[in-house]
Amino acid sequence: MERSLGFLLLLIGTLAIIHIVQAQSQQGFILLDCGLPANEVSPYKESFTGLQYSSDATFIQSGKTGSVQPNLESRFLKPYQTLRYFPEGRRNCYNLKVEKGRKHLIMTRFVYGNYDGRDISPKFDLFLGPNPWATIDLYRLENGTRREILHIPTSSSLQICLVKTGETTPMISALEIRPMGNDSYNTKSGSLALFNRVYLSNSSSFLRFPDDIYDRQWNAYFRNAWTPISTTRDVGNSIGYDLPKIALTSAAMPTNASAPLTIEWSSDNPEDQYYLYEHFAEIQDLQANDTREFNILLNGDRLYGPLIPSKATTILSVSPLTCNGGKCSLELIRTSRSTLPPILNAFEVYKVIQFPQSVTNENEVAAVKTIEATYGLSRINWQGDPCVPLELMWDGLNCSITDISTPPRITTLILSSSGLTGTIAAAIQNLTQLEKLDLSNNNLTGELPEFLGSIKSLLFINISGNNLNGSIPQSLLRKDLLLLYQGNPRLGPLGSPTKPHKTKLLVPIVASVASAAILIVVLVLFLVFRKKKPSTVEVVHPPPSRPTMNVTYANSPEPSIEMKKRRFTYSEVMKMTNNFERVVGEGGFGVVCHGTVNGSEQVDVKLLSQSSTQGYKEFKAEVDLLLRVHHKNLVGLVGYCDEKEHLALIYEFVPNGELRQHLLGKGGRSVVNWGIRLRIAVEAALGLEYLHIGCTPPMVHRDVKTTNILLDEHYKAKLADFGLSRSFPVGGESHVSTVVAGTPGYLDPEYY
C-alpha cells in the first residue's frame, strides 16, 4: 500500500462525491475555523457536511489571522481558507471544555497556502496539554496535513498547543473535537493516533458526516488485484463502531479467488504499536452450497479465524500489535472448505500514542487563571499547562514536579512589579502548596488577608512597596514564615492599627511597655482586692527596660542545635516520671506529672493528650520558641519529647506551686503578705514584658491568671503556660480565642 494514499493527508477539493443527508445530531461537536475573520458570520454551515463551524476567537487569546493565497482559494474550501498563526510566544494554546473521562475524536488540520507570501513551509510541534503529540512539517505538503487522535481527557479542560521549535511560525487551519461512545476503540493503555482509515471501494469519494455520525473521515481505497462488490441491502451495523452505511455495503475481494486479500504498510519506527479494526459484512447473496470462510493473519501469525462474515462485524485488537522490522502485512486467507474468496469492507489502523505527563493540579490551574483574570494580566507565556513541560513553565511560577504521573503543584508565585491594583486576590488561597509569594512593588490596596496564614506551606511573602493598610494578621506571624512588608505606610504590625508611625520598630516596644504597665495595674488591683478590703494602692512602675531588639518576623536561619540536646525519648520520659507515678495536676491539654532528670533535677512533665487540637507542626514550633526563652520570671523549659504521638513538655520544678493557693490559703499553703504580693505582681509583669519585647517574634500570653503564676522556694514569681495557650488553634480562628486554653478576662489587653 502506498503510504501517500491520503493517510494523514487531506485531499480537499478533488471531485469528491459527498453524500449529504439531512444533518443529524452533532451534539458536543466543537468545530473551529481557525482565523475566521471577525466580520464573517460565525457559526456558519460548512457546505459538504452541513456541520456548523465557528470562529476560534473565543478559545485562544493570542495569534493573528491569515488566509491562503487568493489563487489557492478555489482549492481549499472553508474552513481551510483561513488560518491562525503565532508570531509571538513560544507556546500558544487553545483552551477547550470537554467531558472528562469520555472518549473524544480530536482532529487538527494545517494548510499553509503561502498565507504570508514567503513560501516557507512551517515546521513546529503540536502538544496536547503538557505532552508532545506530533511534529508538523508542511514541507512539500501543499495540500496540508492533519493529525487525529482518539483520546480520553483526564481533565475537563483540554489544551491544544502549538510550540515554535525553529525559525518558522506555527499555524493552524481547523480544530475539531467530537465526543464518542465509550464502548469502542478501547486500549490497554495510551491513546490512538490515526494512521489509516479506509473503506474498500473503487469510487473516489470519501465519507464524513452525516454518513459517519462521529464525522470520522473514510477514504476510498482500492487495488488492481481486487474486484469491487456492493449491495443495496441493509447489512446492519457493527455495535459501538457505527460505520457509515456506504462503507459497509461496499467491499473488495481478490479477483483470483484462491489468492489472499493483502494489505501492507510500513513505518519508520519498528517499535510502533498498532491497534487494528477490520470491518466485515457479507454483501453477496450466497447459494446454499456456498461457504465464505477465512483466517486473518498479521505477518504470518493468525490474529483471528476462521471467520464467516454475515451480519456486520468488527474484528479488533484487544492488545497492541507490533510488526517485525516495521513492515506490516495483513492477509485474509480462505480456508480449505471455503468456496468463496475472502472479503473486506473497511479497516482502520491506529498507532498507540502515550500522553504520560499529568497536567498540573486542576484547582491550582483554575486559581492561577482566576488570579490572571483578577489582575488583568496578559503574559504571552501564560498559556498551556502552568508547570509542564519544564522548559515552558510560566514566567513567575515555580512548581514541584515529582514524577510524571503526579499532578505538579505550584510552589512559587512572583508577580512583583506587574502593575497589580485592587486587593490581594482571594484565589491565592487555593494555591495550597505555595511556599513563596512575591507581590512586591505593585499598587495593591486593602488589608493583608487572613487566608494567607492558612497556607501552611508558605515560607516567604514579599508585599513590600504596595499601598496595603490595616494590621498584620496573627496567623502570618509564624516563626517559619518570612514576611517583608516595608513600603506600605498604612500597614502596621500586630495589634497596632493604622496610626502613622515615625519608626516602625519602636511601635511594638512602646505598645508592649504600655500594656505591661496596664497589666501591672490590673494585677496589683487584682491581688489587692482579691481577699481583703480595698485600701489605697500605690502603683509601682517597672524599670523602663528597653532592649534594642530588632523586632522583625524573620525565620531564624540557624537550626535548633539546642533542640536536639534537650530532646527526650518517650522511654526516658517514662523513666523520669517513674511511669507517670505522681500526677500533680491536669489542664485542658493533658496531665502534669512530677519527675526527676539525671537523678537530682526536679521537673514537671506536661503530657499533651492526643485529643488536644494542637497540631504537631505547631507543637514543634512552640518547643523551638520556648527553648529560646530564658527569663528569671518565666518557668524554664528543660526539654521535650516528640516520639510519634507522644508529645510532652518538661519544665523546671517550681516548689511552692500556684499563686492561687497562696492567695486563698488552700492546699496547705500559707496566705502571702502584702509585700510579697506586690513583688509577685511586678515580677509577673516583668515576665510578660520579656515575652512582648525580649522574644522574637513577640509572644502573647493568653491566660494570665493566678494558677499560671508559680512560686519558687523564695516566693519569686514565674509565669507558666505562656505561649502554649497561644498556639492552640480554635476552629482555624486566629483572632482572640479563649475557648480551649485561654480564660476570659485573663488576656493581655493589647491582644484583647
Ligand X SMILES: *[C@@H]1O[C@H](CO)[C@@H](O)[C@H](O)[C@H]1NC(C)=O
Among 22, 258, 319, 550, binds ligand X (CB under 6 A): 258
Interacting residues with ligand X between 477 and 516 (CB under 6 A): 484, 498
Write the DSSP string, 451-488: GGGG-TT--EEE--SS--EEE--GGG--TT-EEE-TT-
Site string for ligand X, 402-441 (x = CB under 6 A): --------------x--x------xx--x---------xx
Dist CA 333 CA 330 (whole Å): 10
In angstroms, give the least distance from the CB of 494 to ligand X. 14
Q: Pairing relation of β-strands 460-462 and 482-484?
A: parallel
Give the DSSP H/E element, type plus range, for residue 517: helix 506-531
Between the alpha carbon of residue 374 and those of residues 368, 455, 462, the distances in Å are: 10, 20, 19
Interacting residues with ligand X between 683 and 722 (CB under 6 A): none
- 102 belongs to the binding site for ligand X (CB under 6 A): yes
Interacting residues with ligand X between 166 and 185 (CB under 6 A): 182
Of 280, 285, 292, the residue nearest 243 (C-alpha) = 280
Interacting residues with ligand X between 284 and 303 (CB under 6 A): 287, 289
Q: Which is nearer to ligand X, 74 or 579 (CB)?
A: 74
**665 CB neighbour count, 10 Å cutoff:** 12
Dist CA 257 CA 280 (whole Å): 18
- 612 belongs to the binding site for ligand X (CB under 6 A): no
Q: From start to end of 88-144, where are the E strands? A: 91-97, 104-110, 123-128, 131-137
Among 132, 240, 470, 729, binds ligand X (CB under 6 A): 470
Q: Which is nearer to ligand X, 429 or 560 (CB)?
A: 429
- 101 belongs to the binding site for ligand X (CB under 6 A): yes
Angle of helix 674-689 relative to helix 506-531, nearest 10 degrees? Answer: 160
Of 703, 712, 721, 748, catalytic:
703
Between the alpha carbon of residue 699 and those of residues 114, 494, 626, 686, 728, the distances in Å are: 71, 11, 10, 14, 13
For residue 301, what are the contacts with CB-CB under 8 A and spacing of at least 6?
Answer: none
In angstroms, give the least distance from the CB of 353 to ligand X. 20
Interacting residues with ligand X between 50 and 89 (CB under 6 A): 75
Among 61, 62, 121, 203, binds ligand X (CB under 6 A): 203
- 116 belongs to the binding site for ligand X (CB under 6 A): no
Dist CA 344 CA 254 (whole Å): 10
In angstroms, give the least distance from the CB of 443 to ligand X. 4
- 465 belongs to the binding site for ligand X (CB under 6 A): yes
Whether residue 639 contacts residue 598, with contact meaning beta carbons closer than 8 Å, is answered with no
Is residue 684 classed as helix, strand or coil in its secondary structure? helix
Is residue 522 classed as helix, strand or coil in its secondary structure? helix
Among 55, 82, 143, 512, binds ligand X (CB under 6 A): 143
Find the part of the chain contacting ligand X (CB under 6 A) among 107-115, 254-262, 271-279, 381-389: 254-262
Q: Which is nearer to ligand X, 446 or 615 (CB)?
A: 446
The reply to whether 721 belongs to the active site is no
The sign of the dihedral angle between the CA atoms of 464, 465, 471, 473 is negative
Among 184, 398, 560, 612, binds ligand X (CB under 6 A): 398
- 231 belongs to the binding site for ligand X (CB under 6 A): no
Q: Which is nearer to ligand X, 242 or 447 (CB)?
A: 447
- 28 belongs to the binding site for ligand X (CB under 6 A): no
In angstroms, give the least distance from the CB of 78 to ligand X. 16
Number of residues located near ligand X, criterion CB under 6 A: 41
- How many CA atoms does the CB half-sphere of 622 hold within 13 Å? 26
- 142 belongs to the binding site for ligand X (CB under 6 A): yes
Write the DSSP string, 577-603: TTTTT-EEEEETTEEEEEEEETTTEEE
Find the part of the chain contacting ligand X (CB under 6 A) among 28-36, 117-125, 461-469, 638-646: 461-469
Q: Which is nearer to ligand X, 217 or 430 (CB)?
A: 430
Is residue 211 classed as helix, strand or coil in its secondary structure? coil
Is residue 733 classed as helix, strand or coil in its secondary structure? strand
- 373 belongs to the binding site for ligand X (CB under 6 A): no
In angstroms, give the least distance from the CB of 292 to ligand X. 12
Q: Which is nearer to ligand X, 43 or 181 (CB)?
A: 181
Residues binding ligand X (CB under 6 A): 13-14, 75, 101-102, 142-143, 182, 202-203, 228, 256, 258-259, 287, 289, 339, 363, 367, 370, 398, 400, 416, 419, 426-427, 430, 440-443, 445-447, 462, 464-465, 469-470, 484, 498
Which residues are known to be catalytic? 703
